[in-house]
Structures are given as structure tokens and as C-alpha cells.
Structure 1
Amino acid sequence: MESPKSPSRKCFEGNIYIRTPLVESIELRKYCAGRQVYLKMENCQPSGSFKLRGISNLCKYAVSNGFTEVVCPSDGDAGLATAFSAMKMEIPCHIIVGQKTPMVVCDAMRSYGATLERYGDTWEEANKHAIETITNTKTAFLVHPFDHLAVWQGHSTIIDEIVEDLDGQVPSIIVTSCGGGGLICGLVQGIRRHGWEKRTKILAIETEGTHSFNLCVKAGGKRVRLNEISSIVHTLGAYEVCEQVVQYFRECNPPILSRLVNDAEAAEACIRFANDHRCLVGLGSATTMASVYTGIVERILTKNEDLHETLYDQRDEQEMNETEGPIVILVCGGGEVNLNIIEENRKLFNLHKI
């Protein structure tokens, strides 16, 4: 899909994303075997999520290679990040959203100057339409939400900031949600760049019903397609993760662990995190919090997991230097969240009030 090579305008200088805080959470220590816990607050990004790091880097890549407009198939954070990046770079942006994309997300994209088109019920349908949309133009660049080297490189800057803020401490586990795998690819690249690959594990959390990476793990590191997306956590809904994240899993350098939570646990985590830390996160980010609140992280730390949880883990215990380092939890963000949505999910799962 890429063809122009002569830049038609000067590429945007400087970062579109911001450096986000790394905040210690006293509240979550009791769920993590007493370890220090730090929250990397990617929900503070101007577009609402970590996606701005990788997507802005990809948009800059597009402009530097001669493209003058961007098209992105996305129901949420990738579209918001693309629209925000295009606004800052002063280039046209067209977002193809699904028929069920919430109005709060669509309104935010429009506020950044993007044009919107509703098409299909799944991301794959929107992506196919996006490819067709740019077929007859040489000026439009297709912004893939997670499968591009520039995206991974952008996401890897999260690790650069964590390294500086921890000032010599090395985390034992970095906990993150997993959709298409782009964020994890960036984390792996950053971890390797700073030599943490034998001291830090990545814990990838999905929901039951968006578990495309978990399927690959259970297949022994083979790329497997999810039959259907049955979870309400649509922001993590990729039928297939990118091939690169599966390769990184096989390499086990750093080890990538895969665990699942259910929709109700993610919805409850939204409420508990809001009460504990006075900020809102979307369901996709809340899957990460759910792994803490439900005891997944603590069981890993205390080596108290059941066999069915650890059966498919790839690890080299002789080479891995187990540390007592802190836990870093990525608060990935979520531009699709507001109080009304949290309340709707609370009622759906009959949870306690906010």
C-alpha cells in the first residue's frame, strides 16, 4: 500500500505524545504480595491512551515518505490517536468506524477534525474497506492500529521513561493488556534496548472472548485465529494478533506470560480503580487492573498458580534472573470511557455502586 517517497511537506518535529507520570500505588501493594507497585499513567496522553505513541510515530513516518493524508480503521483508541496526530500535523484524516462504535468516541474523533464513516460490524470489515478506500489514491496512507514497525518503536518509549523514573530499579513484571499485540512488541523492544530481558517478565492480559494471543500461547507459539469476539471489551477485539508478538513469545526474551479475566471482572475493575485512584479507565485498560484485583499477579509472584495457569508458559529458568523488583502496571487508557458507560456496565453485571 505504500508508494510515495518524496516528502511533500516538512515532517512534524518533536513528539506529539507526552511523557506520562509513573505513580506509586500504595493501594495495590496488598494485592501484589507487598511489592512496590507503580502505575504508568498512559491514560494521561492527549488522545486518551498509549496508542498516541505508536500511531503518531506512524503518521510522521507516512508524511516523511510523501503521503499527505491518513486513513485508519478503528473503533476506538487507534482512531482517536490517528485523528489527534493528524490534527497536530495539519493533514486530512478519515476514520472508518464500526456500526456500533459509541457516539462519545465518534464525537471525540470529529473534535480533532477527522471525517468519519461507519462501516461493518468488525474491525476486519472496516480494515478491508479502508484498504479499498485508498486503493485508487497515491496520497493516502493506511494507519494500521498495531502491525507496523513504526508503531512498535513509538510504544517502546514507554520503557525509556520507566527506566529513567525507576532510577536503577528493575521491575520484575510489567503488566499490560493485549489486543493486537503492538504494545507488547514495543515493550519487548524497549526492554531489550535497556538490557532487562533476563530480569523482567511481561504479563499480557486479555478477556475471555478476545483471547487471540492466549490461543497462540496454547498452540505453542503458532499464530491462531480467534473464531469470534464474544467479549464486550471491543477495544481488545483482534481476531489475530500480529506475527511479531507471536515470534517474541517464542523467543522468550523477555518471557511473555498470558492470562485471562472475564468481562465482569474487567467491569468491576473499572469501579475499583476509580475508587482507589480517582481516575477512570476503559474496559481494555481495566483488564490489566482486574489481573491485580483477582489475584493473578500475586499468584505469579508467590508461585502459587494452578497447573492450568502455568502449563503453556515459555521460560528458561536457568537464564532468568528472578528479582524482587517492583511491579509496573500500564494504565493503557481508554477514550471510550465515561461515567455513563461505567454505570451501564455496573448494571449489566449487577456490581456494587460506584
Structure 2
Amino acid sequence: MIFDMKTPLIKSSKLSELNNCNVWLKMESSQSTGSFKQRSIGNACQKYVEQGAIKFISSSGGNAGISVAYMGKVLNIPVTVVVPKTTSQRAIDLMLSEGAEVIVHGDSWVDANELALSFVNDHAVYIHPFDHQYLWDGVAEIVDEVIAEGIRPTAVVLSVGGGSLISGISQGLQKHHLDIPIYAIETVGTASLNTSIQLGEHVTLDQVTGIATTLAAKKVCEQAFRVSQNNDVRGLTVSDGETVRACLKFLDDHRTLVEPACGATLSVLYDQKIAFTETDDVLVIVCGGASITFDQLSKYTVELSV
């Protein structure tokens, strides 16, 4: 794709030592928009432009909206993004800086999405933040890049929000005939996939809570649930405090600031919640953190007594 980049694959000495294995960090935080969403959204936007789109409509809790706004700017296409009230001002400002129209509506992404869909017409194309094949195709390229660098992972650890990341990674693993565990990490207040796994049915949460607002989908996409039922997906939940502690440790260890949604993944490694072996090559998706600042992370440490 034109508007995403090949991201670094870094072996983490600290996390490898802690977990007695080889931990490989896929640094999606280094994308131009600060998250893996640039792969998914970038691919979808390009596909729709090829089909004649002249305006983009989307809904987002943060990172997807930032990428749609960015793509609109580089493709010279107007963009409207509807975000819920939980979206950080930092994320909204980044969308506005790319020239997008941003509308704040509703208490959750579901509310924002309903309004966004009402704006769709023959000329304005809807860019779903997590539920479309174009998105998963873009994400699957992450696995292509890892394999090209000579690493065949024995496990993947990633965060789950709406489900585009796990859907795309699963697709990439299948392409390369890798039947390996995927550890799906959510915060306690956003655990729509983990709840679905435990109940064995695709459920919608009554509400989503906590600071990991970019994970705050009440229901994962059907493809993500299907992946969890047909593959070796192992769900874990972590607290908001654990995510913040992981963000701070990662900043110290790797000089990279990531948001709590990404800290959720990192926390299970810092807290050694998964048992690995010395020969394991563990792929960790560092999904990003465009909408976080150090000041905000510091406020979370006070609020959560981290």
C-alpha cells in the first residue's frame, strides 16, 4: 500500500528476559498516524477511491478516525468523523488538524456509529473502523513483514477492540500456514470478545468502561468472534492500572509512548501472565498510541493510584 509503512520488528531484551523467550515487538506505533489503523484504514480508503468515492464518513473512538482524516487529506477527499463523548480531546484535535469535520455524539461508539451511518449516501462512502474485509487485508500484511524478516512466531499477543487487528492477524497467519496461539487481551471494562468466548456466543456488552477508550466496542465484529471459535485464541483481561503501569515501563524500556489499549497487551508480558519456553518466538503487536500524551498518562497514574 502507498500510505502505510513497513514498521520495525525489534527484539525486546527486557521482555525476552522477563518471559524466558524471544519477544519480538512489531512497532505499529511508528506508522504515520501512530497506530496499526493506518494499515487497515489506509487500505480501505484506497480501495474506495479506486471505486470512485468522493467523500469519507466514519465513526471512531480515536485511532481509526485519525487515519481516515489523514487519508482524506492526502487523497484530497473531505472527511466527516463521528466520535463518542469518551474520545480524548487529543484524538479529536489530531483529526481536526488533518482537515476533517469531527462531530461528537453519544456515550459510546455504537451511538456515534448510528449517526455516522445516517450521513452515508451515493457520494459519501462509509469507512467502518473495524468490520470489513479491506481492513483485515491491510492488517494481514503485518504477518507478511514478520515472515520476510525470517521470524516464524510461535505465538501472537495483541489487544482487541472492535476486532480488526485479530481478524487481520489471523488471516495473515493462515496465509503462512501458522497454526499458533493468539492471546487476545482486553481490559476488564471492555471485554466483549472475552465475554463472548466464555459464553460461546457472540454477545453485546451492556456498557463499556475504563480508560482504554479505543478498545471500547460493546461487540466485536462477527469475523473476530469467528476467529475466536475456529482458532487457538486465548482470552485474557487486565485492569486499567495494569495497562498504565505497562505503558510507563515500556516508555522507560523502549523510549516509546503508547496508549492504554496497547498497554493492555504489554502488561501481560511485564506481569508474566503467560508461560512461554526458551525456544518460543512471541510476536507482540505494539498497536500504537496517537491519542495519548505523557501528561494524560501521568493523570491516569494519579487517578488509578498506580
Distance 2:22 2:195 in 1: 31
- Match of residue 173, structure 1, among 147, 155, 165: 155
Please report how far the alpha carbon of residue 325 of structure 1 lies from its aligned counterpart in structure 2 after TM superposition.
Answer: 3.0
Distance 2:24 2:118 in 1: 43
- For the pair 1:224 / 2:224, whether they are aligned, the reply is no
**Residue of structure 2 equivalent to 1:191:** 173
5+ residue gaps, structure 1: 1-13, 303-322
Please report how far the alpha carbon of residue 59 of structure 1 lies from its aligned counterpart in structure 2 after TM superposition.
Answer: 0.9
Please report how far the alpha carbon of residue 48 of structure 1 lies from its aligned counterpart in structure 2 after TM superposition.
Answer: 0.7
CA displacement, residues 75-132 of structure 1 (integer Å, 9 cap, x when unaligned) = 2000001111111211111111223422211111111111111111210010000011
**Residue of structure 2 equivalent to 1:7:** none
* Contact kept in structure 2, 1:79 and 1:109, CA below 8 Å: yes
* Contact kept in structure 1, 2:155 and 2:282, CA below 8 Å: yes
CA displacement, residues 52-92 of structure 1 (integer Å, 9 cap, x when unaligned) = 10111111122122221101111200000111111121111
- Match of residue 160, structure 1, among 144, 147, 162: 144
Using the aligned pairs only, state the percent identity. Answer: 33
* Contact kept in structure 1, 2:56 and 2:78, CA below 8 Å: yes
Matches within 5 A, 1:1-354: 14-32=1-19, 34-134=20-120, 137-165=121-149, 167=150, 169-197=151-179, 200-220=180-200, 222-252=201-231, 255-297=232-274, 299=275, 301=276, 324-351=279-306
Secondary structure class of the residue paired with 1:280? coil
* Contact kept in structure 1, 2:146 and 2:152, CA below 8 Å: no
User: TM (normalized to structure 2)?
Assistant: 0.97
Secondary structure class of the residue paired with 1:117? strand
The CA RMSD over aligned residues, in Å, is: 1.3
Please report how far the alpha carbon of residue 242 of structure 1 lies from its aligned counterpart in structure 2 after TM superposition.
Answer: 0.7
* Contact kept in structure 2, 1:170 and 1:325, CA below 8 Å: no
Q: Tell me how many residue pairs correspond in the alignment.
A: 306
Larger radius of gyration: 1
* Contact kept in structure 2, 1:43 and 1:50, CA below 8 Å: yes
5+ residue gaps, structure 2: none
Distance 2:289 2:301 in 1: 17
Secondary structure class of the residue paired with 2:284? strand
User: TM (normalized to structure 1)?
Assistant: 0.84
